[in-house]
Structures are given as C-alpha cells and as structure tokens.
Chains A and B, each alone.
Chain A
Amino acid sequence: MINSKKMLAFGAVAALGFAACGSDDDSGDETETTEVATTEAAEEEAEAASDGALTAVGLTYDIGGRGDQSFNDSAAAGIERAVADLGIKANELVPNEDGSNRAELLQLQADEAELVIGVGFLFADDTVAAAGNNPDTLFAVVDDAMLDFEAEGGPAPRCENCVGLTFAEEQGSFLVGAAAALKSETGVIGFIGGVSGFGLIEKFEAGYQAGAQAVNPDIVIESQYITAAPDFDGFFAPDRAKEIALTMYDDGADIVYHAAGGSGAGVFEAAKEFSEANGSKVWGIGVDSDQYNTVDAAVQEYVLTSMLKRVDNAVYEITKAANDGAAEVGNVVYDLSTDGVGYSTSGGYLDDIVDQLEEFKAQIQDGTITVPTEPS
C-alpha cells in the first residue's frame, strides 16, 4: 500500500520532470543509446546479453531505497521508463539497514533476471563476486567504474560480465556553480557535501568551485561535508544539512549547492526559514534529480536549479542495450556530450542566464574548458 502510493506519487513527479525539462536535456530521454565514452578495455561483448531480449531486470537500491527525492529516485525513474518502453519485468530490492545482505540480494536478483543493476558504488565488490558466480548474467553498477586501475597496461574491467556506469559530475556541477555565481548578490556561495573521503562527492565540489570562479574569480565559496566515509550518515541527515546551511546563510551566502542525497531536503528548508526570517531571498541548488519537482511544495520556490545526474538515463540505456543484445562491458561515462549530466531550468529562475550557461556548456564540450575533478 505504502509502496504503491509512493510509486504513484513518483510517477506523477517523474512525468512533471520530463515535461518540464528545458532545452538542455530533452534529447537524453528516448533517442540516446549507448553511444558514450567507453574505455579501450571495453571492447569485449558481454556474452550474457548478446542473445538479446530480457525477460526481467533486477534493480537493487542502496540502503533507503526509493523516496530520497534524489539519487535513488532518479534510478527508479529510469527503470520505470524501461518497464514501460521495453515491456520487461523489473524487480526492485532494498538491502537491510546494516547493508548485511547486499550480496544475497544480488544473487536473488541473478536467479530471476538476466540483467542486475546495483545502484551505488557500495555494490562494487559484491557485484564482482556475484558476477563470478553467475557468468550468464550481466551486472551493472552505478557510480563505480568497475575497472581495476592498477592492472598492467592500464585500467581493465574487473569482471567479464559487468558494466560500470559513472558520471562526469564535475561538468554538471561546473554549470550550476556558474549559475550560482551569476545569480549571487552577496558574492558568497556555499557547498554542502554529504560524505567526504571516498572521492565521489569531491568531484561535485571541484566542478562547482571551478564554475563559480569562471564567472567571478573573487567569489567566496564556503564548503562543508556532513560526515566522512565510511560514516555514510551524511546522506541521510537533513537535520544536520539544515544546520550547516543556516550557518552558511548567516555568513552571507545566498546560494547553497548540496550534493548530499536525502540530506538535501534540509538545505531547502533552511533556505525557506532564513528567507522568511530575514526578508531577503536565499536559494538552494538540488542534485541528481530535478529537485524542483521532487521537493515538498512548500520549499519548491527556493530551488534555484538542480545539477542533473541522469542516473535514470544510465539505468534505462543499459537495460535497453542489454535487451537489444548490444551491451558492452567496461566503464560507460555519462557526461555533458550525452546529456548524462546537466542543469535544470524548472521554475524559470535561470531564464536570464541560460545563454551564458549554454556558452559554458559548449566550451566544456569542445574542450576549451577542462573541469577539475579534485577541489582546489
């Protein structure tokens, strides 16, 4: 009952999201297949998927599952699209709170499905093991390259039947960083990362910094992380995100970008609270999903834009590729050129600066600007 309600709500939200997509991301939905940057090592065809048409796909979220308004929900949108378009069956699983049964779930999925997708890099090692035990199943992991970077002769796939789906988060973050700098009136902006120390969220911070500084070299950027890995509570702590955001607004920041999954809700709450108390409007910037459409209606008007990380596209495309028998093992990188990342224009708050952002986007795509992946 609870589940179906959530699904219903999400379906509505997702429909809104796609309808509201601006010029920057409408090509990413239907037409794109896996024409994306693969590494040299990814030549090998996945045997598992080569015989075509899937009957079922297994999607395993990380702890928490649907309802984070961000990362997991984006994956959920992708699988729903795949189910609707391709007419296949999807199993969705969520691990126990301590994560003790990730490996079991992957195995359960592999029993039923020819394609198993783990949503989150924490599935990386369990996937390698499961892939070995189920050579006829194709595995995909979101946010992990599934490459052995220390292999002789350059990075090599960690297993014969697994795909790593990663994103150029720094590129999308560059654009929202530029948007923040263009929109900021105080010259102070903030960044809140969910969890530091495992290299992923730092990419968001690095891009955001670079983008803001490209607009205004003198801009002040306050950065703070909620927790450090392996303490992943920072992705589930809206209360702590809210405290940090309020402090940043107090310090004069008028725009705060979060890369903190489910904690992000706290940032928008803080923006609303601060704006109402001080009479001057401050903003939050969302992440992963188009959060203008996923947050509570009460805080919607404080979502300046969102850094779109099209987990939905990645999930949809790997499913479609496997269904067509065209999946390739190795690392698939989703970047600006394939609309794997981008920014949202929902709410219309960016209408006056879209041209400038599109210019930055073109410069990143043609290589004029190289976005760093580590914060300065």
Chain B
Amino acid sequence: MTHPTIRRIVLTVGAPISAVFFAVLLSSLFLLISGSSPFQAYIDMIENASRLETFVDILNEATPLYISAIAAAIGFRMNLFNIGVEGQYLLAAFFAAAVGGYFAGLPPVLHVTLILIVSVLVGAAYAGLAGALKVTRGINEVISTIMLNFIAVGGIIAWLIREWADDTGATNSGTTPIDESGRMPSLNGLLEVFTREISKGRELTGVLLIAILVGITYHLFINRTRIGFDFRASGYNPMAARAGGIPPKRMVMYAMLLSGGVAGLVGMSEVLSQRYKYDQSFIQGLGFNGIAIALLGRNNPVGIAIGALLFGFLNASSGILQITGSATPEIVQIMKGIIVLSAVIAYEAVRRVKLRDEARSAAEATERMSTEPEEALA
C-alpha cells in the first residue's frame, strides 16, 4: 500500500490532469465524428494562440469571464445559486454606460470611478432584490434570479434603450458614447515592454487589472476575514453555523449583494475599453459562462483564472478553425461543455475515493481498537 501522503497528492493532482486528458480525448472523438482531423485542429488552435494579437484577444475574453465566475463563486461558497449574474451585469453595464455617457467632461479618474460605482451599485441592488425575496418571502434564488434575468434584458433595458437611444436613425441604437475621459487606458504599453508592438488595433483592456484585484480581494475576503469564515461555515453547514451564532438571513443578503456587486463589473471591459456604450450588440451570455467557469475552477481564484483563460482560448480559436477549415465553430461550444463535465466528474470521483479512504482508515482504527485495545491506545 502506498504512503497515505503520496496517495493524497496523487489524488489532488490527478483530478485536473485526468479531467484534461478525458476532455481532449472526447473532443478528439467529436472532431473525428464531424469529419475533421483532431491533430490539425489542435495545431491550428495552438499556433493561433501563440500569436501576440491572439494572446491579447484571449486576455480580453478572459477578463469579463473571470469576474463573472468570481461573482458566481461568491454565491456558491454560501450554497446560493446566483443564476442572475447574467441579468445583473447587463443591467449594471446599461446604467453605467448611460450615466457615463450623460456626464461629459468630468475629470478622467473621477469619470471612470463614477461608472464603476454605478455598475457595482446597480448589480448589487438587482441581486439584492433576489436576496430580499429569499430572506423575507422564502423564494428560491434560482427561480427569482432567472425571472429577473428576463426582466432585465427583455423588460427594463429593452424599454429604456429606446428612450435613451443616442442615434435614433441607426438600427444598432445605444446609449450616448462615453467621452474620452471616461475610458480606461489600454494596457498595450505595459505588455509591449515585454513583447513587440501589438498590431491590428488590438487593445489589451485595462479592466484586466480590476479583474486581478477582484480575484485577490475575493481570496483575502473568503480566507482571511471573519465574515468570510461565516460565509464558508454557512455554506458547509447552515444549521451548525446558525447554532454557532451566524445569522443566516443576514448572510444570504450579504452574499447576494456581494455577488451582484462583483457581477456589476463584468460588463466593464466592454463599457470602459471596447464599446464605450451599451448598444444592441452588447455581449450577452457572460453570466452563464461564468457559472461554468466557477464550477471548473472549484470556486478557487487561481482555478477560476485558469478556467477563464481556457474559455478565452477556446473563444479566440473559433475564428481560426473556420478560416483554416480544420473544424466547425460549434466544436468550441462542445469542447467547453466537455471540459466542464469532465472536471465535475473527475472531482466527484476523487471525492468518493477520498471518502472511501477515510472510511477504511477509520474502520481499520476501530478494528485495531477492538482487537488490541492496549496497543492502539498506546
């Protein structure tokens, strides 16, 4: 029998490795079925990703996904399923873009700060609505947040975007574009210190820094603060936490407000550094992808970063696969699904092995206790 410590290490590392292995295997199978060569597809993807411009694309794609996954993870830590990240970030981005466009000529730092504050407040308020419904009326947050998603996009934004449209003649109508002062500077200069000049109009979003900050804060908050401990305790065992003096309703409210506040930042890379407004083509679906990435990253800030980069890589690959003709773009969606599924299954398998190990060692200890009580106690 192997040494227990080695066994534990193998199990911990084995889960992600076997998940990746399994995902690659299954994806290859799907590529073969759809008549493409898996090797050619992977070579194209990796070759494409090694270009500096694609690297910028990947980071730009990963930034909002990362923030979205952190927002979902905050809820998960409390056993709350905030499906409403989607609606929260869209509504937040809409109001933030509208406010940012309305106030022209503010001092640069103040302008960006104002937009960020509006986005956090709107996101928190909209999530808080679901939290309040749960606390006061016992309505399941899964149901209320799904409903609120519909109301946000099909209701509030659909109505107000017409009222506030800037250029009524254009089909792609949207809020007034934000002034130069309300735009986040790109990080191209920073990246170019290490690399060559970035071409083709690619701009590395400054919101990447905000995302990193959100990740660090999330880690410190969950692991190093009193309220973070209360969060985890309520998540592990709400009854025990309650018995330990942690007010459950207040924790639900806090978790929803925090999750929604972070969700509010998801749309900021679009608003502050890409589109500078909210229009009909504003990116939707980041909230749902965030949930998948939070699952993939096991609610861990580093794991989520890896997951977000992986999704960013896949998103950025879809174009090149079509250009080279080595695979259909749908394969990207399939791969995302396979990766999340593989990860969930691998971690569950490892969890069961660990449980069995624990049960066995406990049983062995008991056995020793009953047969040779003196020796065991000594």
Contacts and interface: CB of A to CB of B under 8 A. Distances in A.
A112 B61 CA distance: 23
Interface of B: 34-35, 57, 61, 150, 153-155, 157-159, 161-162, 167-173, 200-201, 274-275, 279-286, 289, 315-316, 318-320, 322-323, 328-329, 332-333
A112 B323 contact: yes
Contact of B172 (A91, A97, A112, A198): A198
Given A98-B286, A101-B57, A150-B169, 17 more contacts: A100-B315, A101-B319, A103-B274, A104-B316, A104-B319, A107-B200, A121-B170, A121-B172, A121-B280, A122-B280, A123-B281, A143-B171, A197-B162, A227-B154, A228-B158, A231-B150, A231-B154
Contact of B171 (A1, A150, A155, A198): A198
Interface stretch (A36-44, A125-133, A260-268): A125-133
Contacts of B61: 100-101
A311 interface: no
Contacts of A125: 172, 275, 279, 281
Nearest to B274: A103
Contacts of B274: 103
Given A94-B329, A148-B167, A108 B283 contact: no
B281 to A, nearest CB: 4
B310 to A, nearest CB: 14
Contacts of B168: 149, 199
A254 interface: no
B161 A229 contact: yes
Nearest to A228: B158
Contacts of B289: 98
B35 A94 contact: no
A112 B322 CA distance: 13
Given A133-B201, A150-B167, A230-B280, A1 B34 contact: yes
A99 B284 contact: yes
A99 B28 CA distance: 25
A101 B314 CA distance: 11
A329 interface: no
26 contacts: A91-B322, A94-B322, A96-B333, A98-B285, A100-B61, A102-B281, A103-B274, A104-B57, A112-B323, A121-B280, A124-B172, A124-B281, A125-B279, A129-B201, A133-B201, A155-B169, A197-B161, A198-B171, A198-B172, A199-B171, A228-B154, A229-B280, A230-B158, A230-B161, A230-B279, A230-B280
Nearest to B278: A230
A103 B316 CA distance: 11
A126 B274 CA distance: 10
A2 interface: yes
A231 B150 CA distance: 9
Given A93-B319, A93-B323, A107 B201 contact: yes
A93 B171 contact: no
Nearest to A158: B170
Given A102-B281, A125-B172, A126-B281, A230 B153 contact: yes
A337 B155 CA distance: 39
Interface string A77-121: 000000000000001111111111111110110011000000001
Closest 6 CB pairs of A and B: A149-B169, A1-B35, A98-B285, A133-B201, A228-B158, A122-B281
A232 B279 CA distance: 12
A3 interface: yes
Contacts of A97: 285, 333
A126 to B, nearest CB: 7
B191 to A, nearest CB: 17
Contacts of B167: 148-150
A145 interface: yes
A96 B280 contact: no
A244 interface: no
A206 interface: no
Contacts of B173: 198-199
Nearest to B322: A93
Given A121-B171, A230-B161, A99 B322 contact: no
Contacts of A143: 171
Given A122-B172, A144-B172, A108 B154 contact: no
A235 B150 CA distance: 16
Nearest to A123: B281
B323 A108 contact: yes
Interface in A1-34: 1-3
